[in-house]
Structures are given as structure tokens and as C-alpha cells.
Amino acid sequence: MAIENGNETKVGYRHKARVLGLLLVLLRLAALLATVTATIVMALNKQTKSITAAFVGTNPIIQTFTAKFQQTPAFVYFVIANAVASLYNLLVLLLRPFMKRKAHEIFEHLGGMVMVSVVASGAAAAAAMAELGKNGNLHARWNPICNRFDAFCCRGGVALIASFIGASLLMILNTVSTITLYKNVASQD
Amino acid sequence: MAKASRACVFLLRLLAAAATVSAAVVMATSHESTTLFGLTLEAKFQYTPSFKFFVIANAIGCGYSLLVLLIPPTSSLSRFVVMLDVIIAMLLTAAISAAGAISEVGKKGNSHSGWLPICGQIPKFCDHVKGAMICAFCGVVIYLVILLHSIHTVIGPLLP
């Protein structure tokens, strides 16, 4: 009776471990999707507006204003940071069958700690510039630009939200990997 | 050996608390006003939300460092502390990058948006902000060293 119970609990644990492993893979996929979305949406963020400035006889002089992400160093850093984080997420997902379990866990933990800071800093810098573009700064005589380039601001906002989601998912995954590593060390002691 | 490393981490956390509190204080005491063509141009850190976030984040980092010093290192809370360390390091990094983004615009301007650089008119304010960012950067580096030490304590036994 006791042995049957033991076998049942062993199978129950294995089932639980498998479900948890699948959940972690799903979380990692979600983080990859979030960072890739942030990178691509910000990298393709561009809006051109043309207005007729004056008339020479009957020919209009058209002046074009462009808002690109390359014009702001903070957005360039945002794209780079999210690209590096997506590469990390992709590597963690793809290299699992090719690495030993311990080496993969260590790589995931160390990389995760770095990527959490990198993505958070990229998102913070882009959020600071986005707030400046939306509200301006009257004390410095900096006018807001979002009233003129609304599509640019909208897409930038979507990329920011995706990056924040990616940063929180990365943090959750890092916490889980910390717990797993501590459990391994505790069980070895 | 364990005692020496524990004393080392204690000292590092004290240093991190000192760095973050000095960053917060230096940023909070930065204000300058000049007159330009009869108009008064006043620069305070409260006028920029990024600088407010910088002060608050560094204050939180300092408070957290001092609180953690009170926890005995062998209790069950020490695992929780490792996770919180990562979160606080992330918060401090975000604060530096947000303040850095705004100071870059203040120093070089952005010709595409018609934003003129203002550091020429308020040099002391810009120097204050620069000093605050240097202090916060030192705080982040110290937190990085603390995190590396935690990883070494945890992962070191795992390596062959």
C-alpha cells in the first residue's frame, strides 16, 4: 500500500515537473515575442509629413518633415537593447537540447541577470524621451512633438509597452531560475 | 573565509547605500536660475519627471541597502534578498538611463524636434546632474559586484 502510494507520488511529481517546464518554455517564448515586437516596431518607426510652405507663382513649395527613430540616441539604444535581449531569449530556447543541464542553467541565470538590467535601461531611456515628446518641457522651451507626429508617437508607445512586458517576463524568469539554482545548492548541502 | 566574505558584502552594501544617497542628495539640491534677455530661466530637478524618478529610485536603493544590512546572513530571507538585489539593480540602472537620456538632450539638443541645448545657460545645474549620475553609476557598479558575489556563492559549488 505504501509502495503504491510512493509510486503514485513519484509519477505526480514528474507530471508536475513537466508542466512547470512547459510553463517556463511558454514564458520564455512570450518574452522573446515581446522583445522582438519592441525591436521591430521601433526600428520601423518613421513618419513623414509634408506641408506646403509657400507658393511660387502657381507651384507649391513642399517642405517635408520626417520623424525617425535614428534621430534620438535613446531610441537607437532601445532598439539595440531589445535586439540583444531577443537574441539572448532565442539562444536560451534553441540551445537547450545541445547543452548539458547545469551549463544551460548557469548560462540562463547569468544572461538573465544582465538582460533584465539592459532591457530595463533601454525602456527607461525611451520612456523618458517619449514623455518629453508628449509633454514637452516648458521651462526649457522644448515643445511637444506628439501633436504633430501622432503615428510616430503611437508606434513608439506600442514598442515601449512591449518592452516593459518583456522586462517583467525576463524578471519573472530570472527569479524562477534563482529559486531553481538555490534548491540545487540546498539539496547538495 | 565565510566570515571575511560576509564582512566584504556588508562593506559593499554600506558603500552602495552611501553612493545612492549621495546621488539622490546631489540631484535634489540642484537648482539654478539665470536671466536671459530679461526672462528668468529657472532649472530645478522637479521640472523633469525623469530627474524626480532618479531621486526616488536612488532613495529606494539607499533605504533597501540599509534595511538589508539588518538581516542576518544565514536566515531564510537571504534567498529573497538575492532576488530583490536584481530588482533594485534594475531600478537603479533604469534611473541612470532615464536621467542620461534627458541630460543628453539638454546638452546637445535635438535639431530635428527644434529642441535647443540649455547647458550653455545653466552650467552649474548641468554639473550637478553630472555629479549625481556619476554617484549613481558607482552605486550600480557596487550592486553589480554584490550580485556577482551572490552568484559565486550559489553557482560556485555547482561548477566542477
Interface test with B, best of A66, A116, A142, A188 (most B CBs within 10 A): A142
**A142/B113 touch (CB, cutoff 8 Å), yes or no:** yes
For the entire predicted model, the pTM comes to 0.89
pLDDT tens, N- to C-terminus, chain B (160 residues): 778 888 888 999 999 999 999 999 999 998 888 877 777 778 888 889 999 999 999 999 999 999 998 887 666 777 788 889 999 999 999 999 999 999 999 999 888 888 888 888 888 999 999 999 999 999 999 999 998 888 787 666 666 5
Residue-wise DSSP of chain A: -HHHHHHHHHHHHHHHHHHHHHHHHHHHHHHHHHHHHHHHHHHT-EEEEEEEEEEETTEEEEEEEEEEGGGSHHHHHHHHHHHHHHHHHHHHHHSGGGS-HHHHHHHHHHHHHHHHHHHHHHHHHHHHHHHHHHH-BGGGTB---TTT-HHHHHHHHHHHHHHHHHHHHHHHHHHHHHHHHHHHHHHH-
Residues of B in contact with A142 (CB under 8 A): 105, 113, 115-116
Res A3: pLDDT: 61
Nearest residue of B to residue A127 by CA position? Answer: B98
**B105/A185 touch (CB, cutoff 8 Å), yes or no:** no
Option in B48, B97, B116 nearest A121 (CB): B97
pLDDT in tens, B13-28: 999 999 999 999 999 9
Query: pLDDT higher for B109 or A86?
Result: A86
A137 has a pLDDT exceeding 90? no
